[in-house]
Structure 1
Amino acid sequence: MEQKRVYEQTGVAMTSRSYVEYEKMFMLQKVDLVGKRVLDVAGGASSFTSEARQLGIYAEAVDPLYEKSPRAISEHGMQEIELVAMKMAKLVDVYDWTFYGSVQQHRAGRIQALQRFIEDFSSMEGAARYHMAALPSLPFESESFDLVMCSHFLFLYEEQFDYAFHVGAVRELLRVCKPGGEVRIYPLMSFRTEEYSRLPDLINEFVLAGCTVQKREASLPFLPNSHQFLNIKK
């Protein structure tokens, strides 16, 4: 039997994604978010916060990466982008390129998002919206955000973080979410492109805690089995 070809990842990768990617991962509608307070957890060097702010959304981001200087993040980001491009070039036939087009276009989008992030992170206002912290402990008061998102961290790193970590992390995301607000997590699978093995247990845990938990369809066809995100309504 042919061995399954998967993306190999050691440690937690730094991400540089754009606003439009967040729209597709989390099925965001600008009209629903203008004037709302939104948190991007483990956002890395994504340009979501910068772009969202320009649209009138009160976006903030949190990541341990933000202890680094803009120059250090930029250098690390470019190294990560080149490494990702090399890995993807060996797995071209595994992915759906409908959105990104090609490895080269994917790389160009990452560079653009990184540059936009660095510009915002370096600005006078940047210090107020980029927070240095890591799950499962966030530096915000309870019930602070209308929407809390986490992309390409929870579930994806199933082999590095155990079930207790995942439960604690989701509990923390819910803590900083306002009553009636939502937590959204994408994707639902690990690097092996299989659904997170403890997802039914995790869903049951938060349903019993009084939350409404649903798998919802995303619209970023790229990774195998990445067509859904988890929506938890507090």
Structure 2
Amino acid sequence: MGFKLQQVVLWGRSFEEYCAMFSLGEQDLQKSILGVADGPAAFNAVLTEQGGNIISVDPAYTFSSKQIAQRIDEIFDDMLIQVANNASQLRLDKFGSAEALGRVRMQAMTRFLQDFDTGKQQGRYVDHELPVIAFDAKQFDLALCSHLLFLYSDQLDRDFHIKSVLELCRFAKEVRIFPLLDLSHQT
């Protein structure tokens, strides 16, 4: 069947998932980090609590926390249905079930929403989007781009991807992108 996403969705991941996806060790977490397309992930909130240096960018940050919460509520049930329908293609072993994954996602998004207003005032959540992000060259030690590039190959063309990767390389000394597959598990 496969996932059917007409647009980029708000589907937050936990701090632990970020660390696993991007193979982040203690030394990495001490670096200046830019999270690109972070959406409602808990990574910024938790890393900031731990004393880390992070800025997250996403076009969703133009909206209020109330509007983001409303959008999460609108898509959450559909995403869970798609996860359940595609469970055989997904790695749910860490979660056990689609419902358990949904609980982890909702906890992460709730943590994000609790931090968003304060973080936005502090400049940790910035309304920017690829392929052009207004930061200085090599301003960050590490850029993380989660669940945007390659995953949305049907919605975002090749030129967008090339420009985006070049932009990530411009403002960060190191770039990590996850996943490197589209929704059909193709490279």
The answer to whether TM tops 0.5 is yes
Contact in 1 for aligned 2:120/2:126 (Cα 8 Å): no
Partner of 2:120: 126
- Residue 75 of structure 2 aligns with an amino acid whose one-letter code is E
In 1, Cα distance between the equivalents of 2:104 and 2:33?
23
Quote the sequence identity (%): 33
C-alpha displacement at 1:160, in angstroms? 1.6
Structure 1 or 2: larger helix share? 2
In 2, Cα distance between the equivalents of 1:83 and 1:151?
21
Please tell me whether residue 172 in structure 1 is matched to residue 159 in structure 2.
no
Cα-Cα RMSD? 1.2
- Residue 102 of structure 1 aligns with an amino acid whose one-letter code is S
The aligned runs of 1:21-32 (5 Å cut-off) are 21-32=17-28
Q: 1:82-120: CA deviations, max 9, x gaps? A: 211011122222222211211111111111111111111
User: Secondary structure, in 3 states, of the residue corresponding to 2:155?
Assistant: coil
Partner of 2:13: 17
C-alpha displacement at 1:30, in angstroms? 2.3
State which of 47, 51, 55 in structure 2 corresponds to 1:52: 47
In 2, Cα distance between the equivalents of 1:156 and 1:59?
24
In 1, Cα distance between the equivalents of 2:89 and 2:150?
20
- Residue 15 of structure 1 aligns with an amino acid whose one-letter code is W
Max radius of gyration: which structure? Answer: 1
Contact in 1 for aligned 2:143/2:168 (Cα 8 Å): yes
Deviates more, 1:15-24 or 1:89-98: 89-98
- The number of residues matched between the two structures is 186
The aligned runs of 1:30-69 (5 Å cut-off) are 30-34=26-30, 36-69=31-64
Scaled by the length of structure 2, what TM-score is found? 0.94
Bigger relative contact order, structure 1 or 2, given CA contacts below 8 A and separation 6+? 2
User: Secondary structure, in 3 states, of the residue corresponding to 2:141?
Assistant: strand
In 2, Cα distance between the equivalents of 1:186 and 1:89?
22
User: Secondary structure, in 3 states, of the residue corresponding to 1:93?
Assistant: helix
The aligned runs of 1:1-234 (5 Å cut-off) are 5-34=1-30, 36-123=31-118, 125-127=119-121, 128-177=123-172, 181-195=173-187
Q: 1:129-169: CA deviations, max 9, x gaps? A: 10001101112122111100101100111112221111100
- Residue 10 of structure 2 aligns with an amino acid whose one-letter code is M
Scaled by the length of structure 1, what TM-score is found? 0.76
C-alpha displacement at 1:29, in angstroms? 0.6
